[in-house]
Amino acid sequence: MKQKLEDIKNSALQSIDCAQTLEQIEELKIQFLGRKSELNNIRKSVKDLSVEDRPIIGQMANTISNEISEKISQKLEDFNRKAINEKLEKEKIDITLPGTAIPYGTVHPLTSTINEIVEIFQGMGFSLTENKNSPEVETEHYNFDLLNFPPDHPAKDMQDTFYTTLAPNVVLRSQTSNSQVRTMEIQKPPIRIISPGRVYRSEAVSSRKNNLFHQVEGLIVDKDITFADLKGVLNEFTRIFFGQARPTKFRNSFFPFTEPSAEIDVQCIMCEGKGCRTCSGTGWLEILGAGMVDPNVLIGVGIDPEEYTGFAFGMGVERLAMLKYAINDIRLFFNNDVRFLKQF
Ligand code: PHE
């Protein structure tokens, strides 16, 4: 009987050792430990043995049964470990592979040009006007009348200005100069503001003109402001914006809200005054309009022109950006072609 048990044990341990699959293990479990197994038969027959043999054989059968069980669990554990290792090996991630590059955006060249202009004037003591003083949807009153435009001024024509159907006399502002009068209406001198924003004009779109463009307006009102201050501030601006001092030319001009008025040219940055395509051979580039605030405008907003004087200027952002970055078509700013935008 003992030999038989020994044989069962050896055969079981050997078979388990050789098992290759989970199913084989399950089968061996039934074969060696199941209800109909030889070992179980022996255990059932222990009660028929002699009193001396009973405990010896019984104990031996139990020990063997435990040994086989343990061997099986060990084998199962081996299988599991192997399966996990195989899975890990298969799913291994190569962390040295380069990742997928995510394209990142850049600031739009018009936005960065506006920021740059604003920063230059902030450096000279100007502050940004509040948004509420610079609306894009505006009444004729602020866009024209308070700026001393006579009622029959051609700029008020529908051909030049976009009128809305919101109410009579409501327009898309044609200039940022509305922010001048809106600011002066609620703020008394000294005033020193800068006001960037969108403006709209009903014009045929071309490489030089768009219906929508951007301006930066500036205004100073204080005691003893003269044309010399205007020249100093704007010369300093062109020096910083274009990176070096360049000759400027103050040409006599006319705006209803400034007197005297000037258009300011800077020496062509492409040909340094020799004459090229960018400056149409003249050697000069017009960059902004400016002038001393007309006394009528001051009176209209309740500021005494005998006590205070001021100057104002308005510059086209697209034009400045086109000159600075040598861009030859204004429409490029609005097409949102990534190939163009990602250069900035
Ligand atoms: N508003 C004028 C324009 O759009 C520019 C300007 C602003 C001129 C301020 C003088 C003073 O052309």
Q: What pLDDT, in 10s, does the model give residues 123-137?
A: 999 999 999 999 999
Shared domain for 58 and 161, answered yes or no, is no
pLDDT at 261: 97
pLDDT at 189: 96
Domain tally for the chain?
2
pLDDT at 46: 87
Question: Ligand 1 atom 12: the closest Cα is on which residue?
Answer: 289
Give dist(CA 11, CA 6) in Å, integer. 9
Give dist(CA 187, CA 182) in Å, integer. 9
In a domain, 97, yes or no: no
Question: Ligand 1 atom 10: the closest Cα is on which residue?
Answer: 290
Shared domain for 85 and 120, answered yes or no, is no
Shared domain for 183 and 228, answered yes or no, is yes
pLDDT at 318: 95
Which one of 62, 90, 118 terminates a domain?
A: 90
- Of 334, 297, 291, nearest in space to 179 by CA: 297
pLDDT at 39: 87
Q: Give me ligand 1 centre to Cα 207, in Å.
A: 22
Shared domain for 45 and 120, answered yes or no, is no
Query: Which of 255, 257, 320 to mutate for ligand 1's pocket (most ligand atoms within 8 Å of CB)?
Result: 255
Shared domain for 132 and 26, answered yes or no, is no
Which one of 90, 124, 156 terminates a domain?
A: 90
- Of 287, 262, 285, nearest in space to 272 by CA: 285
Question: Ligand 1 atom 9: the closest Cα is on which residue?
Answer: 313
Spacing of C-alpha 210 from chain mean position:
25
Shared domain for 77 and 150, answered yes or no, is no
Shared domain for 113 and 250, answered yes or no, is yes
Q: Give me ligand 1 centre to Cα 146, in Å.
A: 14
pLDDT at 271: 86
Shared domain for 57 and 86, answered yes or no, is yes
Token code pair at residue 68: 């086989």
pLDDT at 43: 85
- Of 297, 320, 315, nearest in space to 191 by CA: 297
Residues of the chain with pLDDT below 70 are none
pLDDT at 159: 77
Query: Which of 126, 129, 148, 175 to mutate for ligand 1's pocket (most ligand atoms within 8 Å of CB)?
Result: 175
Q: Give me ligand 1 centre to Cα 331, in Å.
A: 22
Contacts of 315 (CB under 8 A, 6+ apart): 117, 215, 216, 287, 288, 289
Q: Give me ligand 1 centre to Cα 166, in Å.
A: 26
User: Cβ(256)–Cβ(150) under 8 Å?
Assistant: yes
Domain that holds residue 43: 2-90
In a domain, 103, yes or no: no
Q: Give me ligand 1 centre to Cα 199, in Å.
A: 12
Torsion of CA 109, 279, 251, 230, to 10 degrees: 30
In a domain, 98, yes or no: no
Task: Identify the residues whose C-beta falls under 6 Å from ligand 1.
Answer: 175, 177, 217, 255, 258, 289-291, 312-314
Token code pair at residue 318: 């697209």
Token code pair at residue 328: 């030859």
pLDDT at 190: 97
Spacing of C-alpha 284 from chain mean position:
36
Shared domain for 181 and 319, answered yes or no, is yes
Specify the DSSP element, H or E, that contains 217. strand 212-222
Shared domain for 71 and 159, answered yes or no, is no
pLDDT at 326: 85
pLDDT at 191: 97
